[in-house]
Amino acid sequence: MTPSPPTRDARLPPGPRLPTTVQAAIWAVRPLAFLDHCAARHGDLFTLQIRRRPWVVVSDPEHVKRVFTTDAALVGAGAGEANPLLEPLLGSSSVMLLDEPEHLGDRRRLLPSFHGERMRAYGAMMSAVAERHVAKWPTGEPFALWPRMQAISLDVVISAVFDEIEPARRELLAVRLVELTNWINHPRRLALLAGVGKRSLTSSTRFREALGRVEDVVLDEVRARRARFKSDGTEREHNDIHSMLEREYGGEHAGPDGERKLRDELVTMLSDGPTATSLAWVFERLLRHPDKLARLREEVLGGERDEYLDGCVKETLRLCPAVPLVMRRLLQPMQLGRYTIAADTIVAPCVHLTHRRPDVYPDPLEFRPERFLVDAAGTYTWIPFGGGVRRCVAWYFAQLEMKRVIEVVLRRFDLRPASDRDEGATRSSVSFAPNDGALVIATRHTAGANGRAAVVA
Ligand code: HEM
C-alpha cells in the first residue's frame, strides 16, 4: 500500500512537457508506446495533456481502487473523453455516457439481461452461432481471424438483443454494422478522431449516412416487433434485451425522448467491438505458444473442465486488453498519493499499465495462462472490464462468449500462424486489435472415436 505522505500538493502530477497538440498527435498514432514511455519516465502517477481537460493516469492498485470505489455521485462519466467516437456513435443518452443518478438507473435496468437464467440460454446460442460461422471458414490458405470473430460476435449480440429476428433483417443489420465499423476503422479516420476529437465524425456526411443505415434497420425491427407483439400478445414471453428496453422506454406513450433512449441503448449494445478483438488476440497469442495451445486443446477435447480455458481468456485480457484505459471526470477534488487532484480533471485507471506491473505479474510481458490457476484475478489489478459501478455490464457474457467460441474453433480446426512474427496492436473503433488481424492457416478436424479430433486432409 502507498503510505500517505504528510504534505499535500495541489499541482498536477508530472507528465510530458510537450504542447497539447504534440501529445494529441502522439496519442493518435502510438498510444500504448506513449503510455509505456510516460510510466517509465514519471512512474505510477502522471498527467497527459491531450484534450481540454488534463488526464491523470493511474496504475497503482491502491489508486485504481480509490477511483473505482469513490462514491458514484462524486465522479462523472469519462468514456466520451477517452474515446471521442462514443457520443456520435452511441448517442448522448447511452448508459456509457450518463452521469448519476441517471446512469445507475439505466444500469439497473440493463443488468438483468446479463444474469442468471439468461446466461445459460446465451451459452448454447453462442456455441450454435460459432458452429454456423466456422463451417464456412477457408482451409489451407491464410486468412485473418479478426473479421471472422467480428462476424461471430455481431451475430451473437444481435441474437441477445433480438431473440427472434427475420433472417434477412439479421443479415442486413450485420452487413450495415460491419460497413459502419470498417468505415470508422480506416487508419486515417481513427488517427483524426483520436487527434481532433468527435468533430471529425459529426461533420462527416458519410459517417451520418452509414450510422443512419444501421439505425434504419434497428428501428424497422423494433416497429415490426411492436406490430407482431400487439397482434399475437406475446410481448411478455420475450426476455431479450430489446423486449426489456421496450418495456422501459418504448410503447405508444413514450414520445421522442423514449424513442431516442431506446435507439441509444440498442446501438450501445450492438456496438460490441472488444469481444471480437479479444478473440483474435487469444489465438494470436496461443498460436505462438504451441505447448499452451496443446494443453488447452486437450482440456477442451476432454470436455470435463475449463480451468485452463478460463486462464487463457483471463491472460489474454490481461496482456492484450481491448480498452487501454477507462476514465472518470472528477466532480469533487480527489486525493491520490500526495496530490490533490482538482474537480473537473479526468482520472484514468490505466488497464494497459496496471496489467504490466512486475510487482503484480512477474515477467509481465510473457503470455502465461497458468498465473490465473494459482492466483484469482484481483478486483483492482485485473481490470479489462473497468470497475466499480461502471464496470462493463457484459463482463461475464463476454468471457462466456470467448470460451464458447474458442471451444468450437479448437474442436473443429488445427490452426497455425501464417507468419512467425508476433503481431503488434493497432487501433480499431472501440478497442485495439492485432495489426494483421491474427493471420492463420486452418486445417479441419472431424471428431474421431472417444471425442478426440482427427485431422482431415
Ligand atoms: C471482451 C469484451 C469486452 C470488454 C473488454 C469490455 C470492456 C468494457 C470497459 C473497459 C468498459 C468501461 C468500464 C469502466 O468505465 O469502468 C465497458 C463498459 C460497458 N460495456 Fe463492455 N466490454 C466488452 C464487451 C461488452 C459487450 C459484449 C457488451 C454488450 C452486449 C458491453 C456493454 C457495455 C456497456 C453497456 C458498458 C457501460 C457500463 C456502464 O457505464 O455502467 N461490453 N466495457
CA distances from 167 to 149, 157, 164, 172, 395 (A): 19, 14, 9, 9, 28
In angstroms, what is the span from residue 233 Cα to ligand 1's centroid? 33
Tell the residue nearest (CA) to atom 17 of ligand 1: 392
Tell the residue nearest (CA) to atom 6 of ligand 1: 385
Which candidate, 44, 53, 12, places its Cα nearest to that of 346? Answer: 53
Question: With bands split at pLDDT 50, 70 and 90, how would you rate the model's confidence at 138?
Answer: very high
Q: Which residue has the higher pLDDT, 86 or 277?
A: 277
Minimum-distance ligand 1 atom for the alpha carbon of 322: 5
Tell the residue nearest (CA) to atom 18 of ligand 1: 392
In angstroms, what is the span from residue 329 Cα to ligand 1's centroid? 18
pLDDT at residue 350 in the model: 97
Question: With bands split at pLDDT 50, 70 and 90, how would you rate the model's confidence at 252?
Answer: low
Q: Does ligand 1 have an atom closer than 6 angstroms to the CB of 146?
A: no
Question: With bands split at pLDDT 50, 70 and 90, how would you rate the model's confidence at 451?
Answer: very low
Contact 439, 144 (CB under 8 A): yes
Contact 387, 354 (CB under 8 A): no
Tell the residue nearest (CA) to atom 36 of ligand 1: 392
Q: Which residue has the higher pLDDT, 128 or 84?
A: 128
- Condensed to tens digits (0 to 9), the pLDDT of residues 231-251 reads 777 666 677 888 888 887 776
| pLDDT for residue 453 is more than 50 | no
Tell the residue nearest (CA) to atom 2 of ligand 1: 275
In angstroms, what is the span from residue 1 Cα to ligand 1's centroid? 28
Question: With bands split at pLDDT 50, 70 and 90, how would you rate the model's confidence at 51?
Answer: confident
pLDDT at residue 7 in the model: 54
User: DSSP 3-state helix, strand, coil percentages of the chain (rounded to 5)?
Assistant: 55, 10, 35
In angstroms, what is the span from residue 58 Cα to ligand 1's centroid? 20
| pLDDT for residue 1 is more than 60 | no
Question: Is residue 137 classed exposed, middle or buried when 0-12, 13-18 and 19+ CB atoms within 10 A define those classes?
Answer: middle
In angstroms, what is the span from residue 181 Cα to ligand 1's centroid? 17
Largest CA distance in the chain: 70
| 21-30, 192-201, 396-405: segment of lowest average pLDDT | 192-201
pLDDT at residue 457 in the model: 30
Q: Does ligand 1 have an atom closer than 6 angstroms to the CB of 272?
A: yes
In angstroms, what is the span from residue 387 Cα to ligand 1's centroid? 10
pLDDT at residue 456 in the model: 39
pLDDT at residue 448 in the model: 47
In angstroms, what is the span from residue 127 Cα to ligand 1's centroid? 21
pTM: predicted TM-score of the whole model, two decimal places: 0.92
Contact 434, 419 (CB under 8 A): no
Q: Does ligand 1 have an atom closer than 6 angstroms to the CB of 387?
A: yes
User: Averaged over 257-274, what is the pLDDT?
Assistant: 83
- Condensed to tens digits (0 to 9), the pLDDT of residues 317-365 reads 999 999 999 999 999 999 999 999 999 999 999 999 999 999 999 999 9
Burial profile 307-342: b = 16 or more Cβ within 10 angstroms, e = fewer = ebbbbbbbbbbbbbbbbbbbbbbbbeebebbebebe
Q: Does ligand 1 have an atom closer than 6 angstroms to the CB of 323?
A: yes
Q: What are the cell numbers at 115?
A: 444474469
Q: Per mean pLDDT, which of 143-157, 215-229, 231-245 is the most reliable?
A: 143-157
| pLDDT for residue 164 is more than 80 | yes
In angstroms, what is the span from residue 424 Cα to ligand 1's centroid? 23
pLDDT at residue 158 in the model: 93
In angstroms, what is the span from residue 385 Cα to ligand 1's centroid? 6
Q: Does ligand 1 have an atom closer than 6 angstroms to the CB of 392?
A: yes
In angstroms, what is the span from residue 96 Cα to ligand 1's centroid? 8
Which candidate, 380, 415, 336, places its Cα nearest to that of 144? Answer: 415
Minimum-distance ligand 1 atom for the alpha carbon of 431: 5
pLDDT at residue 125 in the model: 93
CA distances from 93 to 80, 88, 186, 262 (A): 12, 11, 26, 9
pLDDT at residue 447 in the model: 55
Ligand 1 binding pocket mutation candidate from 113, 385, 405 (most atoms within 8 A of CB): 385
Q: Does ligand 1 have an atom closer than 6 angstroms to the CB of 275?
A: yes
For Cα atoms 216, 221, 226, give the angle at the middle one, nearest 5 degrees.
125
